[in-house]
Structure 1
Amino acid sequence: MSKESYELKAEARERVGKGSSRELRRNGLIPAVIYGDKQAPISIALSTNEVTKRIHAGGFMTTVATIDVDGKKIKVLPKDYQLDPVRDFTMHVDFLRVSGNTLVNVEIPVHFENEEKSDIKIGGVLNIVRHEVEVHCPADAIPEFFNIDLSGKKIGDSIHISEVTLPKGVTPVIDRDFTIATIIAPAAGIDESAAEGEAEA
């Protein structure tokens, strides 16, 4: 399941534009916009520290949040954020309004387990083609990650999206059985004696 929801306090912004944004950042705030759900966009300001903390905690783009705008609570999903290319602080955030029946496209991280039960233990290399998989799913049921079991995988094997058990209502955006990872031989080749020893064990 997705990470636990959280709440951010915000204030509505009357003024927009570069000058206003610079002033907000000097005061420890980030300019942001809430849009979607067939309603007019709302310009808001958020605490830089709070937003940065949420981004660094992980799962920021896949966790539904509540934004309290001057007492009005709005459910949102972060859709984009910009970082300063030099100083690496958050410059701006875009949020999408969501409700129980909102469907969204999100990129879900892929985790791998049981490498020691595959040919990786004898020197095979896990070649990850996709670190994330983009899916279409309900906003209130976004998976936190997909787990892929490597047990029994041999050198030359590929892992496709069809091998991943997707939760109900979650479908890949790409409409084909694409490759997520492969197990390949190392550039130096496999140590045959080590492989035989593993097999005997």
Structure 2
Amino acid sequence: MATTHEIKVERREDEGKGASRRLRRAGKIPAIVYGGDLKPVNIQLDHEPVWLASQNEWFYSSILDLSLGGDVQKVLLRDMQRHPYKQLIMHLDFQRVTEGETLRTAVPLHFIGEDTSPAGKSAEVVVTHELNEVVVECLPQDLPEHIEVDLSALELGTTVHLSDLKLPSGVEIPELKLGKEHDVAVVVARHGRVETESSEDGAVGEGGAADEEK
């Protein structure tokens, strides 16, 4: 079951860059809600609570309850514009979620058991996370906040692919429907010394060649 989080919003009447600048100076964030059977609506949010919420992973991958005077609409965050150097959110885009309608969104991956795995306990093995999130399709009520990837049995030479992920009921990875070539690696356990030894051999070889020329 997906977890939802409530965020209070207000309707925004003024539009344009000037109005948005005034909102930001007043500690507000201009935003828009679109999708579903309703028209797009301009809204505004208090910056401080939204900034705090944006420090959490769920803000980007969970269904949010936007509450406008008691009227609650379920949405997903689709875009966030940040100031280039200030801790300031400039604009937000939310898409309405319709019950019973399949949605597609990115969900973060949580890796567990790596430290206790054979690969994780070996100093000679490098474990690489090729992906940190995956795009899934599901109904709103089935949307997980994250997907766990159990690496407790990971060994040298092992590759965990998309098809190896254990998905919650009702959740699919659309990429896998496109063919085997789209079953990309999620985690790879390689021998960490191979590249180093190759580099050292190359350096010796180059040095030897230089000495011969002298």
Q: TM-score range by the shorter chain?
A: 0.7 to 0.9
Taking the aligned partners of 2:75 and 2:110, their CA distance within structure 1 comes to: 26
Match for residue 19 of structure 2?
20
Match of 1:194 in 2: none
Q: Deviations over 1:119-151 (max 9, x none)?
A: 221121111111111111222321122222223
Give the superposition deviation at 1:63.
1.6
Kindly provide the amino acid, as one letter, of the partner of residue 139 in structure 1: P
Summarize the alignment of residues 178-193 of structure 1 with structure 2, pairs less than 5 Å apart: 178-187=184-193, 188=196
> Structure 2: 5+ residue runs without aligned partners?
177-181, 198-214
Shift of residue 19, structure 1, vs aligned partner: 0.4
**Any unmatched runs of 5+ in structure 1?**
190-201
What is the rounded CA distance, in whole Å, between the counterparts of 1:140 and 1:174 in structure 2? 21
Structure 1 position 66, deviation (Å): 1.6
The yes-or-no answer on 1:121 pairing with 2:121 is: yes
Offset at residue 169 of structure 1 (A): 1.9
Q: Structure 2: how far apart are the matches of 1:163 and 1:57?
A: 27
Provide the aligned length of Structure 1 versus Structure 2. 188
Distance, in Å, in 1 between the alignment partners of 2:122 and 2:79 is 41
Greater alpha carbon shift after TM alignment, 133-142 vs 35-44: 133-142
SS in 2 for 1:126: strand
Report the equivalent of 2:204: none
Q: CA deviation at 1:38?
A: 2.7
User: Among the aligned pairs, what percent are the same residue?
Assistant: 32
How much has 1:179 moved relative to structure 2? 1.1
Q: In proportion to residue count, which structure has more helix?
A: 2
- Whole-Å separation in 1 of the counterparts to 2:21 and 2:144: 36
Corresponding residue for residue 163 of structure 2 = 162
Q: TM-score, normalised by structure 2?
A: 0.81
The CA RMSD measured in Å over matched residues stands at 1.7
Q: Which protein has the bigger strand share?
A: 1
Equivalent pair of 1:114/1:150 in contact (CA under 8 Å):
yes
- 1:155-201 alpha-carbon deviations (Å, 9 max, x no partner): 11100112111112211131332210100111447xxxxxxxxxxxx
> Partner letter of residue 126 of structure 1?
V
- 1:152 equivalent in structure 2: 153
Quick check: 1:136–1:171 contact (8 Å CA) kept in 2? yes
